[in-house]
Structure formats: structure tokens, C-alpha cells
Amino acid sequence: MKLRISTRNVRKLVSAGLVVVLMLVFSLSADSFWNWRNMGNLFHDAAFLGLIALGLSFVMTGGGIDLSVGGIVCVTAILVSRFGTLGGSSVPGVLAALFAVLCGGAFGLINGVLVTRVRLTEFVTTLATGILYSGLGLLLAYRDNGKLSGVIVPKGIQNESFLSLGEKVGGTGVFLVTYIWIALSAAMYFVMRRTNFGLHTYAIGSHSRSAGMSGVNVRRIKTLGFVISGAFAGLASAMLTANMTAASASLGNNGYEFQGIAACVVGGIALGGGKGDPVNAMIGAIFLQTILNGLLKFNIQAYWSYVIQGVIIIAATAFDTLFGRVTHMLRERRSIAGREAV
């Protein structure tokens, strides 16, 4: 019996194999790389990017793009910090995180309505709303006692329940956000692969018009994709704020939208839609964070990581294009051989 591996699993294996190779290279070159503490920190940092990429995977698989997640992270960080300190320290951390998810989902809903109902271009719409959301975050951060003070004064959050979201779990040395990220990635993989919503998302990403003619509610599915993207950006914002113990208006201006898209592309999610799933996004986030972590071990300036990420994105896109052509050619050959056999 021959073992047949689907093309989507081949792409995952290639990306996962590159992660393993990178880790082996860094571990052989730097003794401080391969240890429990550094691995915990690596996956901790990857989790924040991974949550954003996880949400983006639904939009990108559906053939869309969302450039507003950085702005959502910015404004949600300010909102959740204010909400988390209401009534002193009485707001439970889980409730504050849920508030951030709802805020992010609401901002994503705005994106979805503008794209599907007003029929604006996704690229321009989400770019504009991302700037708008960042502006709202700055406005809220600058406001002091009802007036624009002109100076951002970060105030440490004293809510212990909320701050526990950014801490390690027990004596494991693994941060809570890492467990949340892995669990949600597994859950969203099931949603993408085993529900009608996921299957319809693939159909829209492959060919939107054909999906609509087949009875798929394209507007609803695409809007839900933006809501999910915003919700995960909001969750990432809450976890980041808890980890930093204070909200910062510059939190969403770190290029999270482009890093999230990069993680999806490197992991194997096609920019044109129709291919990929949350596991691809997870692998891509780990890949990018492994590069950054390894470079820091060699005291290489962090800005080189952006250069390397750009090269990797180009290489990943070229690989996917070549891989698609080879796969299509093999399918054509099998189809011809099958007809000749008949």
C-alpha cells in the first residue's frame, strides 16, 4: 500500500522542516539557544504574532487581506487597560480579555461591512481603518482627565487578575499565552477543515463568483472572516498588555499586520486564497520568531530580521508558485494517463 501525502501536507512539512533545520543550526552555533528557558521565551514571543496570524488566516484563505490588525491592537490595548482598572482592581482578568476580544471583533465587523456592503476595496479599506484605529488609540492615550495633555504617561496596571494573563503557568516555565495560542490554533483548524464555514471560506478563496453561484453567502462568510481577524488581534492585544503591565499607544505601530501576513505566507497560506489553514499560520509564526531569536543570540541587530523576513517572503512566494505549477503538471499527466488507460 502506497502512502500518499496531500499537497497541503507537503507544504506544511516543508515549512516545519525548515523550522527544525533553523533550530538545529542555532543550537549548534549558540549554547544558549537550545534550553528550556529560551524555548519558553521563543514560543512566548511567537504566540503574540501567532494569535494575529491565526485571525488573519481566515481572511487570507478567503482571498482577502486585512491591514488593520496593527491599529486594532493599538486601540484595544488602551481600551482594555482602562476597562481592566475600572473599580480599582476588581475586574477579573478573563472578563478583561473577553472585553478585548469583543472590541477587536467589533472593529473587524466595521471592516467587513465596509468591504461587503459598501463594496470598498479590501486593501484600501483595511489600510485606512488601521490608520483610523491607531489614531483612536493615540487619542485615548493622550487624553488626561478629559483634556489632551500632549504627553503619553503610561500607568502600570495594578489588577493582579488581569496581569496573571501575561505570566507563566505554575512551575512549567511556559507562559499562559503559549497554551492559549496552541489550543485556539487546534480549535480553529477544526473550524476551518470540518465546518461549513471553513469549507465555504476555501470556496470563496478559490473562486468567489462560483461560490456565490453555488449558494454560498459570500458577504456573510467574508464579514465573519474580518470579525475573527479583529477578535484575535484584540486577544493578542490583551495578552500583550498584561505581559507589559501597561498599555502603550505605540503597541500597534510595530508592523504587526505585515508580520502577521508574513507568518501566514511563510507558513504556506496563499495570498490569492483557497490554500492554507491555522496550522500553516502557527508554523510561520514559529519560523519568523526562531530567526529573530537566533539573530539576537549572535548579537546581530534586530533590524536585520526585517531584511531576512523580506527575502524569506519572496522565497516562500516563489516556492509556492513553482510548487503549484509542478502540482498542476503532475495532475495533468495523471489525467492524461487515466484517459489513455480507458
Query: Where residue 150 falls among pLDDT bands split at 50, 70, 90?
Result: very low
What percent of the chain has a predicted confidence (pLDDT) above 70?
88
| pTM for this entry | 0.89
Residues contacting 227, CB < 8 A, separation 6+ = 105, 108, 109, 112
The mean pLDDT of 206-221, rounded to a whole number, is: 92
Q: How much is the pLDDT for 7? A: 64
- Give me the domains of the chain, ranges plus CATH numbers: 37-144+161-308 (1.10.3470.10)
- List pLDDT tens digits, range 215-225: 999 999 999 99
- pLDDT reported for residue 153: 47
The more confidently predicted of residues 339 and 276 is 276
- pLDDT tens profile 77-123: 988 888 866 545 567 888 989 999 999 999 999 999 999 999 999 99
DSSP 33: T
Residue 186, all three cell numbers: 487546534
Q: Which of 88, 79, 174 is nearest to 133 (CA)?
A: 79
C-alpha cell at 93: 482578568
> Mean of the pLDDT values across residues 8-34?
83
The pLDDT tens digits of the residues spanning 119-144 come to 999 999 999 999 999 989 888 877 65
Indicate the residue type of 271. Answer: L
What is the rounded distance in angstroms from the CA atom of residue 53 to the CA atom of residue 59? 10
Distance from C-alpha of 34 to C-alpha of 36, rounded to nearest angstrom: 7
